[in-house]
Structure 1
Amino acid sequence: MHHPIKRPLNFKRQSIYLLPNLFTLSALFAGFYAIVQAMNGHFEQSAVAIFIAMILDGLDGRVARLTHTQSEFGAEFDSLSDMVSFGVAPALIAYEWMLKDFGKLGWAVAFIYCAGAALRLARFNTNIEVVDKRWFQGLPSPSAAALVAGLVWIGIEYASDLAVLRPALPYIALFFTLFAGLTMVSNVRFWSFKEFHARKTVPFVAMLVAVLVLLIGASRPALVLFCFFIGYAASGYVYWVWCKLKRRPNMA
């Protein structure tokens, strides 16, 4: 009696693009490193790691588009990496740095930030095909993380200059963490910079301004980055007020 030959099942091999996902993995590592350093009390290193994660997060998508290696796996992996680097890490850094002195209020505000980042990422993933790509609905999670990490960075680097504000610093940290968390899930619109064209001609004086900005940024990176993201976070509310005064729709 002849038995049928059993052939092994052919499973479709799952493959991923290495280059863009390597940038995403590096951003995830930077977020994890920030958490570890915060647990060890090295808050300045934690803050810098958040900004490094921001740079890497901005590169992975651009590398994928330039090399035509976009994939559904990459999009999901990027979202999970963002949750760690810009959701969990800033919340834990702020809590370990200042918020834990508030007791239950401190960890509640830290969780509001963490939950806001999760909700912001989920809404972005589900609305990506229907929203106006020129605008973000709510503050992007990397910008929210920059607000928290930037405050930690300047609070440590300029500790002597801010000595007079030292008693108020925990309350400032509480406000910034809560503000960032709630703004992520708001309907306030923020410019996405996707209409910025690098090939567009500009006046020569623009190069002089760019050189000046680079020099200031190189000499005072913490202060320049923090001021930039404060301005960006405020820009959404300024535009919202302007729309209300002009009676223009502000729905994202």
Structure 2
Amino acid sequence: MNEDKKVVPLMDNMNTNEECTETKTSKWNGRKGIYLLPNLFTTGALFSGFYAVVASMNGNFENAAIAIFIAMILDGMDGRVARMTNTQSDFGAEYDSLADMVSFGVAPALVAFSWALQDLGKVGWVASFVYCAGAALRLARFNTQLGVADKNFFTGLASPSAAAIVAGTVWVFSESGVTGADVAWLMALIVPAAGLLMVSNVRYHSFKGLDLRGKVPFVALLAVVMVFVVVSIDPAKVLLGVFMAYALSGPAYELWTRLRAKKA
């Protein structure tokens, strides 16, 4: 009789475990998917960054610089498309960060190194590495501060803007017929400076407050057309000038803020 009493609870436990297993299995709905539309833009940005590296290895530095600017356009679109279509996801955020590291971290550093900095030996690759490490640290800090950072400002120069400075410099000189060896020391200053600005505590306006879905006056559309006209006159010099001005706007804003605080 005692042996029979011991067997019954054992069978009950076995039935209970089977029911739990069936319950857990019934919750599985198959493989999880990803949103295609925003990730297509991210993939395009990644491809443009990879193409920039390959083009620089083949000596097509002007095409490499243009590819980095194309990656910037695609990178700016994927986030906005995801928000407009309500297709944000953790996968998309991580994928975007990895693509940014390739397109705006590795690609500009290798393009600058292949074009000019390799002639300086150790100084050249150290300058390139400072930029690449700055981009990695900038992206890591940005990802960890998403929940607490002010959305209207970036802490440090954004990696696409830093990449635009490096790629724009290569583009302007290559288009003018200047070789990388002629401006190697200048690039040895510009490239690590862009990397250091990315990891600095200087604040830059993010322009995320712009509402692209709302109505705007007709004059605003005319202004956009004029911007395209100005850029089309000389894309390399105009874009480099714009991003150089943006890079300097951060330190200028910080200096103005401190002077204003002292006067107050």
TM-score grouping bracket, smaller chain normalisation: 0.7 to 0.9
Q: CA deviation at 1:171?
A: 1.8
* Structure 1, gaps ≥5 residues long: 1-6
Q: CA deviation at 1:172?
A: 1.7
Could you say which residue in structure 2 is the equivalent of 1:85? 103
Alignment of 1:43-192 (within 5 A): 43-159=61-177, 169-192=183-206
| 1:41 to 2:21 alignment | no
**Contact 2:128/2:191 (8 A) holds in 1:** yes
Could you say which residue in structure 2 is the equivalent of 1:3? none
- Deviations, residues 202-252 of structure 1 (Å, cap 9, x unaligned): 584x6555443321211211111100000000000100111121127xxxx
Alignment of 1:6-21 (within 5 A): 12-21=30-39
| 1:32 to 2:50 alignment | yes
- Percent sequence identity over matched residues? 56
- Deviations, residues 93-138 of structure 1 (Å, cap 9, x unaligned): 0000000111001000100000000000000000011011100000
Higher CA-based Rg: 2
Q: Report the residue type matching 2:142 in the other structure.
A: F
Could you say which residue in structure 1 is the equivalent of 2:247? 233
* Structure 2, gaps ≥5 residues long: 1-21
| 1:22 to 2:40 alignment | yes
**Contact 2:53/2:64 (8 A) holds in 1:** yes
| 1:216 to 2:230 alignment | yes
Partners of 1:210 and 1:228 lie apart in 2 by 15
Q: CA deviation at 1:49?
A: 0.4
Q: Which structure shows the bigger proportion of residues in helix conformation?
A: 2
Partners of 1:220 and 1:240 lie apart in 2 by 31
Partners of 1:47 and 1:11 lie apart in 2 by 45
**Contact 2:119/2:181 (8 A) holds in 1:** no
Aligned Cα RMSD in Å? 2.3
Determine helix, strand or coil for the equivalent of 2:204: strand
> So what's the TM-score if we normalise by structure 1?
0.88
